Chain A
Amino acid sequence: MSDFALEVQDLKVHFAIRGGFGRQVGAVRAVDGVSLQLRAGETLGVAGESGCGKSTLARAILQIVPPTAGRIVLGDLDVTRVRGLELGRLRKRLQMIFQDANDSLNPRVKVGAAIEEALMLAGVPTAERPHRVQELLRTVGLPYAFARRYPHELSGGQRQRVGIARALAVGPELLVCDEPVSALDVSVRAQIINLFQDLQEQLGLGYVFISHDLAVLRQISHRILVMYLGHVVEEAGNPQIYDHPLHPYTQALIGSVPHADPRVNRARARIRLQGEVPSPSHPPGGCPFHPRCPLARDVCRSEPPPLREAAPGHRVACHFAREGIWMGGELDGHGTA
């Protein structure tokens, strides 16, 4: 019996690299041991740059991509490798919002028909469906007249609302949102984030909200998880992770968000991460971040740091985690100030 709405335990998703004759010669370790917990009605933000595995994590939770190892537990139901009817049941409780609503909606299908199809899956009788479509459209802030339209006849924000309405049609308790506002104009972004928050209040939805944009996550998340190269490097509550980031990577990420006041920007130390993100098929040994980390020492190269609780509700995976790594001129080990 779990008191989490969703719990992921040590999830690994590896994609095989095949050489000649179909033999496996390597693996892309997209997700390499990620654990997370989500409480009902809360938002867990997942941050990280492109290639860190957050999209793969989302798809593995929904079984779009099969997990290689680990467990996914929805409430008290182990849904790690479900097929058939059980997969259907999983998808009634957990749905996904995709990044590009332009592509996640069929351009040849009218918006109302797309929502009705989802209602059909939910077992809503035919006569009731138009009424429910109207309700759903209203819930996401769209007039019923839009049901007659094709996706290309809607603006980006409106399309994303339709995507949300369609996901809600099957009645999930949890939504995994894969960069849902990244493709939208900044002005529209705020509207959609507000919509997500309103829906969470009204319907008690839980979200796993994936975004590379820390500013967005700051608005909407209760807790935040930072990923790097398939691993969780830090996890904390919302104000804590911004106020007291402990992992060097988290600090670099947060430091890279420009401050509105240019004087504050200029006063801050410049953070330069050396090097590039390594390929997930050849991850570095030990701590995945060590090639770019200013604190790296021998132990970092050989031993992967475990995710340890550094403060109540605040976990870090670093041998030398502390605040203010980038501030001031003195740094342990090599690295630029």
Chain B
Amino acid sequence: MATEPHEMTAFDAEELAAAEQTPTWRILLGSLAHNVPALVSALVILALAAIAILAPQIAPHNPDLGYLNGLTAQGSPVPPGPHFLLGTDENGRDVLSRMIYGARVSLTIGILANGAAILIGVLVGMVSAYFGGWIETVLMRLTDIVMAFPILLLAIALIAVTGPSMVNIIMVISLIYWVNIARIVHGMVLSLKEREFVTATRTLGVGPWRILFKHILPHLSSAIIVYGSLGVASTILLEASLSYIGIGVPVPTPSWGNMISEGQAMYQVAPWLMIFPGIALVVTVLAFNLVGDWLRDALDPMQEGH
């Protein structure tokens, strides 16, 4: 009934042995082991995540309470010492505890806003590139328009309309950052849709949405992963900037940005109020950037059958 079974020739066996693959994650881990900055950054990010999740357990003091012994006799902030490891602010609140809860805010907003931006951007890029025509024209012009605005100004304008709150900030930031990945995905899908497997699948009769999500989307995975990591750096920074100018996370919720802003007034008396949140921001953004760069380089040569 069937044609004679395909005998494995010597050539087949050789080709197959050569094609046996090490799983992706193992290749990635291997490359991470050799890249010290990326390795350290990855650990930093893991530590940050742990800190953010375990904030209630880790924070030595209540971040919202002004302690009586948190202010000196003259009523000024206490410098870093045995009781308050990173000092206190002008209200007597513990800086370390506030920074720990600030990590929560920054990471949550950063990751969620970036995630939403990627979702919007990938959808816009895929749909505009695959369907073409007026859909593509409208979406790409929209992308151009959003890109034309200076980021901070656009953010300020949008927040002025919606009002500052965690949810609104996440929404506003995602509405600004989707354009970058939309452009990239648009370009990738434009070339992907000319590939023969797309023609073959269409000829079989598969519908466009299934082709987009089951066939084209897997090819976008490395771009998404890279933007997933690099983008968090940008979103965290934007949130900090917004909080710094006062329209971000509303006080008294601590955010590294508004901590820096509040500490600015007391810079000469209590420099630690600006320095520590500043360092936290720099380290975090740097860590995400380094991990993002490493991922982009590690994933690049692995496209299509290694």
Asked whether any CB of chain B lies closer than 8 Å to the CB of A300, the reply is no
Q: Which DSSP category, helix, strand, loop or mixed, fits chain A's interface?
A: helix
Asked whether any CB of chain A lies closer than 8 Å to the CB of B219, the reply is yes
**Which of the listed residues B1, B196, B215 has the most CB atoms from chain A within 10 Å of its own CB?**
B196
Cβ of A106 and Cβ of B16 under 8 Å apart?
A: no
**In angstroms, how far is the closest chain B Cβ from the Cβ of A46?**
18
Give which listed residue, A91, A96, A118, A141, contacts B2 with CB less than 8 A. Answer: A141
Cβ of A105 and Cβ of B204 under 8 Å apart?
A: no
Interface size for A (C-beta < 8 A) is: 47
- Give the distance in Å from the alpha carbon of A157 to the alpha carbon of B7 in the complex: 12
Which residues of chain B are near A265, meaning CB under 8 Å? none
Cβ of A64 and Cβ of B199 under 8 Å apart?
A: yes
- With A109-B214, A139-B2, A141-B5 already in contact, the answer to whether A170 and B11 are too (CB < 8 A) is no
- Give the distance in Å from the alpha carbon of A218 to the alpha carbon of B33 in the complex: 58
Cβ of B12 and Cβ of A155 under 8 Å apart?
A: yes
Which residues of chain A are near B202, meaning CB under 8 Å? 64
Cβ of B15 and Cβ of A155 under 8 Å apart?
A: yes
Q: Which of A98-149 contact B (CB under 8 A)?
A: 98, 100, 103-109, 117-118, 121, 138-143
Asked whether any CB of chain B lies closer than 8 Å to the CB of A292, the reply is no
Cβ of B196 and Cβ of A152 under 8 Å apart?
A: no
Give which listed residue, B11, B19, B203, contacts A91 with CB less than 8 A. Answer: B203
Cβ of B214 and Cβ of A170 under 8 Å apart?
A: no
The digit string for B8-24, where 1 denotes a CB below 8 A from any CB of A, is: 01011001100111000
Which residues of chain B are near A202, meaning CB under 8 Å? 1
Cβ of A158 and Cβ of B12 under 8 Å apart?
A: yes
**In angstroms, how far is the closest chain A Cβ from the Cβ of B220?**
10
- With A100-B196, A152-B19, A153-B21 already in contact, the answer to whether A199 and B204 are too (CB < 8 A) is no
- With A96-B203, A104-B197 already in contact, the answer to whether A138 and B2 are too (CB < 8 A) is yes
Asked whether any CB of chain A lies closer than 8 Å to the CB of B195, the reply is yes
Q: Which of A240-292 contact B (CB under 8 A)?
A: none
Cβ of A153 and Cβ of B200 under 8 Å apart?
A: no
Asked whether any CB of chain A lies closer than 8 Å to the CB of B137, the reply is no
**In angstroms, how far is the closest chain B Cβ from the Cβ of A79?**
14
Q: Which residues of A contact B (CB under 8 A)?
A: 62, 64, 87-88, 91-92, 95-96, 98, 100, 103-109, 117-118, 121, 138-143, 150-155, 157-158, 161, 163, 166-167, 170, 185, 187, 191, 194-195, 198-199, 202
| 19 A–B contacts, CB within 8 A, in A order | A87-B205, A95-B203, A95-B204, A103-B197, A104-B197, A107-B197, A107-B304, A108-B218, A118-B204, A139-B2, A141-B3, A143-B5, A153-B21, A155-B11, A155-B15, A163-B200, A185-B11, A191-B6, A199-B3
Contacts A121-B204, A140-B3, A151-B305 given; 9 further ones with Cβ under 8 A? A64-B202, A96-B200, A98-B196, A139-B2, A139-B3, A141-B3, A141-B5, A152-B305, A154-B16
